[in-house]
Chain A
Amino acid sequence: MAGLVILLCAVAVNAMVWGSVSIGWRNVLVILLEALPFGLVFEGLEIRSVHEDILLQIRLPRVFLAAAVGSSLAVAGAVFQGLFRNPMADPYVIGISSGAALGAVFAMLSGFSLAVGGFGAVPLFAFGGGIITIMLVYSMARVGQAVPVMTLLLAGIAVSAFLSALVSLLTYFAGEKLHMVVFWMMGGLGGATWHQVRVMVPYALVGFICVSIFSRELNAMLLGEETASHLGVDTERVKKIMLAGSSLLVAAAVSTSGIIGFVGLVVPHFVRLVAGPDHRFLLPASALLGAVLLIATDTLARVVIAPSELPVGIITALIGAPMFVYLLKKRKKLRYFGGGG
């Protein structure tokens, strides 16, 4: 865990050093330390104010946002995989992303100029779309008092497919806004602002606290709902809280940065392969590793074809997938998630 924290710091500093304008790491540290409210002043190093602006107004919020989004997606992925006991589950599996995408695309095409709390129509509609979708899926899957996870998963997949079709339909008629729509769907952290960070981080924190105080219950749920309830877990309540918490995480992440794939699928597997399935470690470790991965890949996305940038989702998949396969091969230990062997 400590290693992950150090890695996170290293990656974050590196993210601030690299860019179309390179700022030396000594300068980065000085600017950061001076920006802290301790009144620290370092003499002797000459720092250009334009660097200071780039760092504090552009790169730093972007790093924070990447960290928040990355950890939200990774934690939500871990929760869904555990809850559904399915290694294929990712944060988007039960349709939050499709709902959010429909909201976002609708907002783009209709050209609403709505703004609440400093946000435009697109993130607001995306967030709303995600939350409405998850509520719809939950109510569809309800059987009497209970919500069986299999039904939930299937209902989610069905709703997700339906909404994706609607998104495609809208995209087809997007006309000159097609570019905008496609870019949003690929996901990216461009144009991150402190304002986004300020709104995103509380959601991420609330969602994370929500799910992580139930990690012991989630461990028991891995053995099956009946077993969990024999052990004294109130499974219906746990499911509700888990879904609410992780939906909040995903909806917040998607509305600020579009649909960034792969992080939420792969990071939890990574941690499980190395450290086992105990959610008391898995959730915080996934949060850290998710943050690391997204900061690192976002840095690459900014740098490889600077001064323009790639959608970060492309990089996460391009780098994450081979690394994951390598780890799988090396460990040759698939049974940790029902893979037999």
Chain B
Amino acid sequence: MGINIEVHGLKLAYDAQPVLEETSFTVERGGLVALLGANGAGKSTLLRCISRILRPTSGSILLDGQGLEQFDSKEAARKMAVVPQETTADFDFTVEDIVMMGRFPYLGRFQKEEQKDREIVRRSMEMTGVSHLAERSIAALSGGEKQRVIMARAVCQQPEALLLDEPTANLDIGYQSMLLELAARLNREQKVTVIAAIHDINLAVHHFNRFILLSGGRVMAAGRAEEVITPENIRKSYGVPATTYRHPLHGVLQVSVVRGRTSEENLSGSGPAVHVIGGGEEALPVLELLSQRGCRLSVGPVSAQDSGCRFAHFHSLPVVIVPPFTSMNGVHKEEHLKLMREADMVVVPPIPLGEGNLPVFEEVETALDEGKPVYIIDLAGVERRDYSGKARPLLESLVEKGAGVLETFDDLHETICPGGGKLNE
């Protein structure tokens, strides 16, 4: 089972508006491919060409080396099944009726469904987990259930290739991964070639192992995630600045769109200069908020690989970096003090505190003594993130010396940018 699909120099235009321009690629037998691209990049159009709904102006599509137009409708339907974004199912067909329609390409005009067909229907419904819905009307199902029924029909078609056109666009996250996992399972167990148009890149990388990125009707990149999903490619095809990172749990590549300012703006922001102590996930929202408010930021000290460090690098911010598994030395302290002196104020986010980073507060104290305003966020909850047992007295001593206390980081912009409550400027 499984066929390979070659697309050569496909061209197609809707009313003189070109949608596909010289689109070419090959999907190997048993490939598990996600077709990525911005809205209007030609993903659906391309799939509709492969599924013979649209006829390209020029170019060719080959299934196992044979031209698509050489198959008659039923032959083609035995090779390929399609799961569309949405199926209008306003009719009172039962789920079983709908799945049975997947047997259509195998039945002669006057042939009745046989035991064998019913058995295949039963197994398809079992595999997609819709057996219990068999007698229900398709019109009464939820979007997620309906889509699984359509999937069951596709399985019932016993195809060698499965095309999915934004199959998860209307589903909640639970059904999204369930459906794509089903496609991946068909690929694994029955070697069905799968091509799915998906606009959610972060979802796609979890379930697929090959990617084709379309942009303006052309293939911009094809291959493994690392080759295709790069900030550069994302920026060019989706027109937004983006950053990629590894999923903290699964290690797959993820994409995040960067909001707001460019790095130049960050260096020359109109807001006050703020130094933020420490990194880690707790500091990130503070950094993000201050950055949105137009503050000129500096960060540190953070260890390399820390998310605060990545943030600083991404926005080209001044940062004190301590190599992993080492402690601060004199040079770091000097740098740190320098950054605080250059800033208008210092913010201490609710970071975890331990023997390793408490010495940082010696410099903070120095800065405070020199008259630099210091704000400590969430002093009340410090016990929860204190691994040394010494943090509270230390911070309270800073407060005695005049450091301000903020309940949550939301209070920051009141304090730091009074009147400057412009969101997402």
Contact = CB atoms under 8 A, between A and B. Distances in A.
Contacts of B98: 223
A335 to B, nearest CB: 5
Nearest to A341: B139
A34 interface: no
B287 to A, nearest CB: 48
B88 interface: yes
A216 B51 contact: no
A231 B157 contact: yes
A335 B140 contact: yes
Contacts of B91: 222-223, 277, 336-338
B89 A230 contact: no
Interface in B53-107: 53, 55, 72-78, 80-82, 84, 87-94, 97-98, 101-102, 104-105, 107
A87 to B, nearest CB: 10
A53 interface: no
A205 to B, nearest CB: 17
A276 B76 contact: no
A278 interface: yes
B52 interface: yes
Contact of A277 (B78, B87, B93, B153): B93
B109 interface: yes
Contacts, number: 84
Interface string A239-278: 0000000000000000000000000000000001000111
A101 interface: no
24 contacts: A85-B90, A213-B109, A213-B110, A216-B104, A220-B101, A220-B104, A223-B101, A226-B48, A227-B82, A229-B52, A229-B73, A230-B51, A232-B104, A272-B92, A276-B92, A276-B93, A277-B93, A335-B92, A336-B91, A336-B137, A336-B139, A338-B88, A338-B90, A338-B91
Nearest to A217: B104
Is chain A's binding surface mostly helix, strand, loop or mixed? loop
Interface string A315-341: 000000000000000000101111100
Interface in A273-318: 276-278
B84 A226 contact: yes
A227 B84 contact: yes
A232 B92 contact: no
What is the interface residue range for chain B against chain A?
A: 35 or more
Chain B CB count within 10 A is highest, among A220, A227, A231, A335, for A231
A223 B101 CA distance: 10
A230 B81 contact: yes
A176 to B, nearest CB: 50
Given A216-B107, A224-B88, A335-B140, A231 B93 contact: no
Chain B CB count within 10 A is highest, among A216, A230, A338, for A230
A233 interface: yes
Interface residues of A, number: 27
A192 B78 CA distance: 51
Nearest to A213: B109
Given A227-B84, A335-B139, A234 B107 contact: no
Contacts of A213: 109-110
A333 B139 CA distance: 11
Contacts of A232: 73-78, 104-105
A223 B104 CA distance: 14
B107 A231 contact: no
Nearest to A222: B91
A27 interface: no
B126 to A, nearest CB: 21
A193 interface: no
Given A223-B88, A337-B91, 9 more contacts: A229-B73, A230-B81, A230-B82, A232-B74, A336-B90, A336-B137, A336-B139, A338-B91, A339-B90
A164 interface: no
Chain A CB count within 10 A is highest, among B77, B104, B107, for B104
Nearest to B106: A232
Contact of B92 (A216, A220, A277): A277
B139 A231 contact: no
Given A213-B109, A337-B90, A231 B140 contact: no
Contacts of B76: 232
Contacts of B87: 223-224, 227
A151 interface: no
Given A226-B84, A227-B84, A337-B90, A233 B107 contact: no
